[in-house]
């Protein structure tokens, strides 16, 4: 249950130091409780250090933060909650940013050199976008997932978006160079073709031509499972995690879908005059 | 089409999502390549991160240990009795090791004492080289254990004197050159004695019996330590006794050896081998 703090808080104008100190002392328990409740979402921050830092920030310059609480706020509790959230986001971001942004880019580039100029350039671009308007993008975090996961998703999103926008924004293209374009270049061969494995190349091409039609007939879950396995090259455990089932069930589902596709293609080939069933 | 929010994708990855929402998100992902790429790339990174988590947590273990160390230091700091605590701790830790005597040495000591109490000075078949060879093997094995253990010079001396008697039976005057000073046996000199004995016994075709004696005593000593003699070794000597030495050795030896089965227990092995040993160390 949330602590209710409704002191004789008169927010009609700025507070003086004595009032601010009073509010601060009264809210200390609430601050600690709130940070303790939220800290698990902000791995790798720890409760002791973070709460100490936040309290010190409130005390700085004669409780400047508390004294500057805007006049139209509903109550100290709401303001503090926002302050705590922003503080946690900021601290967690600076604790994770360097390592995470760099590693996500290195993974993408397939580079093990952290000093690679491309890694540094793209890293700067990502950081610039994230830190725009006082971490505005990150501060939209609603605390429904772990901040670390949110940060990874946001960074990955920015990387992918930058590539997509490249065609439209010429400035970016010259700035980040041609290596950046190659980052998300789709593979030349259609990975879904891996579904069909036949010895006869002509026959295989015919079967592959039916594939898009067959995939269209699948329901959204089946289609997603096939995409995850063949397009995104995901492991069975990751597919199971996505579908929200066990690894065993995901394995059975994959087999069933693959059989379904084989059967459909075999039927279509049969209609086309060939009688052999496509193998998997 | 409205794309999924970053936080929605993060929730999918973390699994903090309701069933209904999941279905909605899955439907979106199946038709939106943009969100699917973000999702799959992020998931792959997070999974990889999980694998490395053990390594990342290691410094935290260090922090915990540091905390304990600090607490211990605070406890002992300024405590005048700390050296006493330290000595007591060392004594408590080492006490079991200090008190524990080697079981094999204890067994040998018991055997020698028993022979002395019973006043056995002459063994059965005292002038028979066959008996003497087996007994020499038994004594050599016992002396080897004592040398390895260190100390117990008096016990070593008593056994060496008995070994010397057997050597006299086997090699007459040459025994003196083999074992000139039975009272002072050292590891290196004893190795030379054993090697020379082996060569000389080989010439007399008695080295098999000498080895048999060693095997019997070794078998008893390992069973004292809670182990079983090797089955192949038992089988090898059973064949030797049944074949080459069938007429030379007393019939009781083969009878005892035949008691060895595939699943003979430690105590049973010890009893069988002690039975064989008693045949050779019986009073005349």
d(C-alpha B162, C-alpha B137), whole Å: 12
The alpha carbon of A45 is separated from its chain's Cα centroid by a whole number of angstroms, namely 19
**Can you give the pLDDT at residue A275?**
44
Instruction: Answer for the pair A2, A23: CB distance below 8 angstroms, yes or no.
Output: no
ipTM of predicted complex: 0.79
- CB of B58 less than 8 A from some CB of A: no
Using CA of residue A171, residue A177, residue A178, residue A182, what is the dihedral sign?
negative
Residue B117: both structure tokens together: 């109490």
| Choice among A147-156, A210-219, B57-66 with the minimum mean pLDDT | B57-66
Contact of B65 with chain A, judged by CB distance below 8 Å, is answered with no
Q: What is the pLDDT of residue A3?
A: 43
Between these two residues, B142 and A13, which has the higher pLDDT value? Answer: B142
Q: What is the pLDDT of residues A229-260, one digit of tens each?
A: 888 888 888 899 898 889 899 999 988 888 88
Contacting residues of A for B1, CB less than 8 Å apart: none
**pLDDT > 80? residue A96:** yes
Q: Identify the pLDDT of residue A149.
A: 92
What percentage of chain B exceeds 70 in pLDDT? 89
Chain segment B109-153, per-residue pLDDT in tens: 888 888 887 777 778 777 888 888 899 999 998 888 888 877 778
pLDDT at B53: 66
Q: How far is B75 from chain A (nearest CA, A)?
A: 24
How far is it, in rounded angstroms, from Cα B109 to Cα B155? 7
**Does B45 contact A at CB distance below 8 Å?**
yes
Nearest CA in chain A to B34: A160
Q: Please provide the CATH number assigned to the domain covering A191-271.
A: 1.10.10.10
Contact A70, A11 (CB under 8 A): yes
Q: What's the pLDDT band for B56 if we cut at 50, 70, 90?
A: low
Q: What is the pLDDT of residue A93?
A: 92
Average pLDDT over residues B17-44: 89
pLDDT at position B177 is: 76
Contact residues, chain B, for A150 at CB < 8 Å: 6-7, 10
What is the SS3 assignment for A169?
coil
Please report, for chain B, the start and end positions of each structural domain, with discontinuous segments joined by +: 6-75, 103-281
Nearest-by-Cβ selection for B16 from A145, A148, A227: A145
Count of beta carbons in the 10 Å neighbourhood of residue A137: 15
Q: Does B224 touch chain A (CB under 8 A)?
A: no
The pLDDT of B8-35, averaged and rounded, is 89
Backbone torsions φ then ψ of B283, nearest 5 degrees: -70, 145
How far is residue A186's CA from residue A167's CA, in Å, rounded to a whole number?
Answer: 15
Q: Where are the domains of chain A?
A: 17-91, 92-183, 191-271
pLDDT digits (tens, 9 = 90+) for A157-178: 988 887 676 554 444 444 445 5
- Distance between CA atoms of A123 and A102, rounded to whole angstroms? 6
Residue B30's closest chain A neighbor by CA? A224
């Amino acid at each position: 249950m949330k602590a209710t703090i409704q002191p004789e808080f008169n927010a009609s104008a700025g507070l003086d130091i004595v009032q601010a100190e009073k509010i601060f002392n009264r809210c200390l328990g609430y601050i600690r409780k709130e940070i303790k409740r939220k800290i698990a979402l902000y791995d790798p921050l720890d409760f002791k250090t973070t709460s100490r830092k936040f309290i010190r920030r409130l005390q700085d310059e004669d409780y400047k933060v508390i004294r500057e609480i805007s006049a139209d706020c509903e109550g100290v509790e709401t303001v503090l909650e926002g302050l705590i959230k922003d503080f946690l986001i900021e601290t967690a971001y600076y604790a994770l940013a360097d390592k995470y942004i760099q590693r996500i880019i290195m993974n993408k580039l397939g580079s093990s050199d952290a000093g690679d100029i491309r890694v540094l350039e793209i890293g700067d671009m990502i950081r610039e976008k994230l830190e725009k308007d006082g971490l505005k993008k990150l501060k939209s975090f609603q605390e429904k997932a772990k901040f670390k996961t949110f940060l990874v998703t946001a960074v990955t999103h920015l990387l992918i978006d930058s590539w997509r926008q490249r065609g439209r924004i010429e400035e970016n293209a010259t700035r980040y160079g041609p290596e950046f374009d190659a980052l998300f270049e789709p593979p030349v061969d259609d990975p879904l073709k891996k579904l069909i494995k036949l010895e006869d190349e002509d026959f295989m091409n015919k079967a592959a031509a039916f594939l898009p039609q067959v995939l269209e007939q699948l329901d959204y879950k089946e289609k997603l499972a096939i995409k995850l396995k063949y397009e995104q090259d995901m492991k069975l455990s990751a597919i199971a995690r996505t579908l929200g089932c066990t690894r065993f069930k995901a394995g059975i589902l994959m087999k069933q879908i693959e059989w379904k596709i084989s059967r459909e293609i075999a039927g279509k080939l049969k209609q086309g005059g060939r009688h052999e069933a496509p193998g998997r | 089409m409205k794309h999924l929010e970053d936080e929605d994708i993060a929730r999918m990855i973390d699994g903090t999502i309701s069933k209904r929402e999941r279905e909605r998100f899955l439907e979106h992902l199946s038709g939106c390549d943009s969100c699917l790429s973000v999702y799959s790339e992020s998931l792959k990174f997070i999974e990889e991160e999980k694998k490395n988590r053990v390594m990342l947590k290691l410094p935290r273990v260090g922090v915990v240990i540091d905390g304990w160390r600090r607490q211990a230091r605070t406890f002992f700091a300024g405590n005048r009795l700390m050296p006493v605590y330290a000595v007591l701790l060392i004594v408590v830790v080492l006490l079991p090791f200090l008190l524990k005597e080697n079981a094999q040495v204890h067994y040998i000591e018991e055997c020698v004492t028993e022979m002395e109490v019973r006043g056995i000075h002459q063994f059965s078949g005292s002038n028979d080289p066959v008996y003497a060879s087996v007994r020499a093997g038994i004594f050599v094995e016992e002396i080897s254990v004592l040398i390895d253990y260190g100390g117990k010079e008096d016990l070593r001396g008593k056994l060496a004197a008995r070994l010397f008697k057997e050597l006299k039976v086997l090699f007459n005057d040459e025994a003196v050159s083999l074992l000139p000073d039975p009272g002072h046996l050292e590891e290196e000199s004893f190795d030379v004695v054993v090697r020379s004995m082996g060569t000389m016994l080989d010439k007399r075709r008695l080295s098999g019996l000498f080895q048999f004696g060693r095997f019997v005593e070794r078998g008893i000593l390992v069973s004292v330590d809670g182990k079983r003699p090797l089955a192949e070794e038992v089988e090898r000597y059973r064949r030797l006794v049944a074949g080459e030495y069938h007429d030379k050795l007393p019939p009781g030896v083969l009878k005892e050896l035949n008691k060895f089965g595939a699943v003979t227990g430690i105590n049973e092995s010890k009893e069988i081998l002690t039975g064989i040993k008693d045949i050779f160390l019986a009073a005349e």
